[in-house]
Amino acid sequence: MRLKFTKMHGLGNDFMVVDGVTQNVELQESLIEQWADRNFGIGFDQLLLVEPPSRPDRDFRYRIFNADGSEVENCGNGARCFARFVLDNKLIDSPLIRVETAGGDLELNVQPDGQVTVNMGRPRLRPEKIPFNATERANLYPLVVDGQTLQISAVSMGNPHSVLKVDSVAQAPVATLGPLIESHSDFPQRVNAGFMEIVDRNNIRLRVFERGVGETLACGTGACAAVVAGILNGWLDHKVAVELPGGSVVIEWPGDGNVMMTGPAASVFEGYIDTHQSYSLGRSEGVSV
């Protein structure tokens, strides 16, 4: 079966987006992993699947699969791409889009200039809701990693995040410390590991080692989690520009209630892939653009 897809990105965090409303889609973990390969496949951080909603008060169901084929709860940069995709492909004619995800409901709003504002919902701070192994809620937790004790914040934006404040993201050991935090036993569902440098009370720099992916150029939920952590610890004001390796988003949070994220989304190309093609890491004949 030939499956149509669109390659998109939000600040360099890139996606294979598939319409499961007008197409019959059957995904296999092994195929997703092969399609994600940047040398022999399409190449992406996550695959986003658009499906019909299960409830009448939602417009779509939004599903996210990491490059290793695992399904996850939420992706903020993906949400912006999702909004542009369904609007550009005329699956909906309203710029206000209501979606359900495994991590909770989202509201997406495509602005006249093409930027997308996402109502990311309320951050989850209680350890059992993240989930994180701690007896009570705190703004900072000690986390022993490779013999050193780190002071991290733990936040869920529908998916779990650890936030570590560093002096310089350029010098932060993301490649070595990131996977150790990601797989730490105190996070039973693994965690996205964020490294945050505070520039001033309205600006931060951020790098994120994403669960099941590795370091990405941008992470929308990671940006939200970092700003929430910064506000709770008294380091940041309530509207913050987050500079990621792929570009910037603006996060707003009043200290309670929902987190709002505004940033860009862009299409790169469209193509078709044969879902019954026999793949190996040395063959990619099943992809056409």
Summarised one tens digit per residue, pLDDT across range 76-134 is 999 999 999 999 999 999 999 999 999 889 999 999 999 999 999 999 999 999 999 99
What does the DSSP 8-state code read for residue 127? G
Asked whether residue 277 carries a pLDDT value surpassing 90, the answer given is: no
* Binding region: 13, 46, 66, 76-77, 159, 192, 210-211, 220-221
Specify the number of domains making up the chain: 2
Whether residues 250 and 161 share a domain: the answer is yes
Whether residues 224 and 272 share a domain: the answer is no
Task: Output the pLDDT for position 283.
Answer: 39
* Burial group, residue 176, by CB count within 10 angstroms (0-12, 13-18, 19+): exposed
- Tally DSSP H helices, then E strands, for the chain: 4, 19
Task: Clarify whether 75 is annotated catalytic.
Answer: yes
Task: Dump pLDDT digits (tens) for 15-72.
Answer: 999 999 999 998 889 999 999 999 989 999 999 999 999 999 999 999 999 999 999 9
Task: Clarify whether 224 is annotated catalytic.
Answer: no
> What's the helix, strand, coil split of the chain in %, to 5?
15, 40, 45
What does the DSSP 8-state code read for residue 254? -
* Binding region for substrate: 13, 46, 66, 76-77, 159, 192, 210-211, 220-221
Whether residues 101 and 132 share a domain: the answer is no
Asked whether residue 254 carries a pLDDT value surpassing 80, the answer given is: yes
Q: Where are the beta strands (DSSP E) in 88-224?
A: 96-101, 104-110, 116-119, 141-145, 148-156, 160-165, 192-200, 203-210, 214-216
Catalytic residue among 213, 219, 251, 261: 219
Whether residues 135 and 226 share a domain: the answer is yes
Whether residues 44 and 96 share a domain: the answer is yes
pTM of model > 0.75: yes
Q: Are strands 104-110 and 116-119 parallel, antiparallel or unpaired?
A: antiparallel
Domain that holds residue 46: 2-121+265-288
Catalytic residue among 75, 83, 226, 228: 75
Q: Answer yes or no: are the C-beta atoms of 268 and 42 closer than 8 Å.
A: no
Task: Dump pLDDT digits (tens) for 263-275.
Answer: 999 999 999 998 7
Whether residues 116 and 182 share a domain: the answer is no
Could you write out the DSSP letters of every residue in 179-199?
A: HHHHT-TTSTT--EEEEEEEE
CATH number, residue 277: 3.10.310.10
Whether residues 141 and 233 share a domain: the answer is yes
Sign of the torsion formed by the C-alpha atoms of 82, 88, 89 and 91: positive
Token pair belonging to 190:
């693994």
Residue 27's beta-bridge partner residues?
none
Task: Dump pLDDT digits (tens) for 164-174.
Answer: 999 999 999 99
Q: Can you tell me the distance from the alpha carbon of 66 to that of 46, in angstroms, rounded to the nearest whole number? A: 5
* Burial group, residue 244, by CB count within 10 angstroms (0-12, 13-18, 19+): buried
Q: Are strands 96-101 and 60-66 parallel, antiparallel or unpaired?
A: parallel
